[in-house]
């Protein structure tokens, strides 16, 4: 009943959907140059041969799928990666493996979905995390395209919501022949809502390659910061940048450089203005302002450069964990040997965060004062800083075997495609 209502509303509401998308485009939240892809119109021709369609909602989901995409291409299969955000498209333009294609996922309206599927004719669909679009799932199932849920995630809050409409969720999950959950908790919730063949093999975010960086840019920054104590506040959200400024002032270390990398780079000028209002000398990377001797805070508001700043060697605070909730990915700095710390609000990483803490691969700070104390202690003790980074890296490298397990679980779906037969 609910699905039929949803299907009817998305069919009849075409003009309203179109108006909504136009408003998003005007605000820069849709890619004007590739807007037709959101309406199901292809931006590229379909290559010959079988295609595995991989879908992730945004940056994190898409990046976690890249190691698997590389494995599929190595097996001679085509890969179509879809995402829904402008930011994810920009990052994938740089990081998508050779031979893979990126398209924007069509908006979940029957006409758009059918146009997309008619053109691309995927032979296998891999959906990441918790991106459940009813029309897209149903139309894919109706065409007999095998579907697998990868990195399946189901928070306690989402589970409570979906339990109120169990039939609707069961119908959406029924299209997945296999559900690979991130954690045992996720697996239990997905299973309780009707998922078939639900397994927990681990988190593909453990299989990602180290974040890239430009070697020349790294050398330039190392030269500019040589001999100075520094620390990094990474993937910050509103409130955490001002907190970083207060921590800088509280530490009172001569020559201290605080580097702030906001999760949303477009907030850079606003963040810089707020830190300057605290009386701090700020340089803004997007404005071409270099780190000078008198710079106290460097706001690195550019895309795709976290790997550069993680390599600078100072303690790393992972944002969205003190002033905002959920947490950002602590695995990335750990893999690069950074001393990692985060706040108590790490709900997006219910297994990863405790595992890191148990292995002494990360430090949890309860508030701003504890953050300042932890950063100060590590900067005052270089051997302890190096030991914390080594422990983080050892833990991260020890978790990297999940990719082989996922690929093995997918073998029954991949074997028929390796014969080279694409869907008609």
Return the number of other C-beta atoms located less than 10 Å from residue 212's C-beta. Answer: 13
Using 50, 70 and 90 to split pLDDT, how confident is the model at 208? confident
- pLDDT, tens digit, 9 for 90 and up, residues 36-49: 999 999 999 999 99
| CB atoms inside a 10 Å sphere around CB 221 | 23
Give the separation between CA 6 and CA 172, rounded to whole angstroms: 12
pLDDT tens figures, 350-380? 888 999 999 999 999 999 999 999 999 999 9
Q: pTM of the full predicted structure?
A: 0.72
| List of domains in the chain | 34-207+401-419 (3.40.50.11720), 215-398 (3.40.50.2000)
In the structure, how many helices (H) and strands (E) does the chain have? 19, 14
61 is a catalytic site residue: yes
Q: CA end-to-end span of the chain, whole Å?
A: 32
The Cβ of residue 32 has, within 10 Å, a number of other Cβ atoms equal to 9
Question: Between the CA atoms of 304, 82, 348 and 165, what dihedral angle is there, to the nearest 10 degrees?
Answer: 160
Q: Which of 37, 61, 368, 399 is catalytic?
A: 61
Confidence of residue 179 (pLDDT cuts 50, 70, 90): very high
Rounded CA-CA distance 260/284 in Å is 10
133 phi and psi angles, rounded to 5 deg: -105, 115
- Model confidence pLDDT, tens digit, residues 255-267: 999 999 999 999 9
């Amino acid at each position: 009943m609910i699905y039929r209502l949803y299907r009817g509303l998305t069919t009849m509401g075409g003009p309203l959907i179109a108006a909504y998308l136009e408003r998003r485009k005007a605000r820069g939240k849709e890619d004007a140059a590739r807007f037709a892809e959101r309406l199901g119109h292809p931006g590229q021709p379909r290559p010959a041969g079988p295609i595995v369609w991989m879908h992730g909602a945004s940056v994190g989901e898409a990046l976690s799928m890249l190691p698997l995409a590389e494995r599929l291409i190595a097996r001679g299969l085509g890969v179509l990666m879809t995402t829904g955000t402008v930011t994810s498209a920009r990052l994938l333009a740089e990081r998508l493996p050779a031979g893979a294609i990126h398209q924007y996922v069509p908006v979940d309206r029957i006409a758009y979905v059918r146009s997309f599927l008619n053109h691309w004719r995927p032979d296998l669909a891999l959906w990441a995390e918790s991106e459940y679009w009813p029309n897209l799932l149903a139309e894919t199932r109706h065409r007999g395209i095998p579907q697998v849920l990868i990195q399946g995630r189901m928070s306690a809050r989402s589970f409570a919501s979906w339990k109120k409409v169990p039939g609707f969720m069961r119908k959406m999950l029924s299209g997945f022949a296999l559900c690979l959950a991130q954690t045992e908790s996720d697996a239990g919730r997905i299973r309780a809502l009707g998922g078939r063949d639900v397994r927990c093999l681990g988190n593909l975010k453990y299989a990602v390659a180290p974040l890239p960086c430009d070697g020349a840019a790294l050398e330039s920054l190392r030269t500019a910061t040589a001999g100075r104590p520094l620390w990094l506040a990474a993937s910050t959200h509103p409130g955490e940048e001002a907190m970083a400024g207060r921590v800088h002032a509280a530490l009172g270390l001569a020559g201290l450089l605080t580097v702030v990398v906001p999760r949303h780079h477009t907030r850079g000028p606003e963040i810089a203005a707020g830190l300057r209002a605290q009386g701090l000398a700020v340089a803004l990377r997007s404005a071409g302002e270099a780190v000078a001797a008198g710079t106290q805070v460097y706001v690195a508001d550019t895309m795709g450069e976290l790997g550069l700043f993680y390599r600078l060697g100072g303690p790393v605070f992972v944002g969205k964990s003190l002033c905002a909730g959920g947490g950002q990915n602590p695995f990335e700095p750990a893999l690069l040997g950074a001393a990692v710390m985060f706040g108590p609000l790490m709900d997006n990483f219910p297994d990863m965060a405790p595992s890191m803490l148990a292995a002494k691969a990360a430090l949890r700070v309860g508030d701003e004062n504890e953050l300042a104390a932890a950063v100060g202690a590590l900067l005052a003790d270089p051997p302890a800083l190096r030991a914390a980074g080594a422990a983080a890296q050892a833990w991260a490298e020890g978790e990297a075997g999940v990719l082989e397990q996922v690929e093995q679980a997918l073998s029954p779906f991949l074997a028929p495609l390796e014969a080279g037969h694409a869907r008609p």
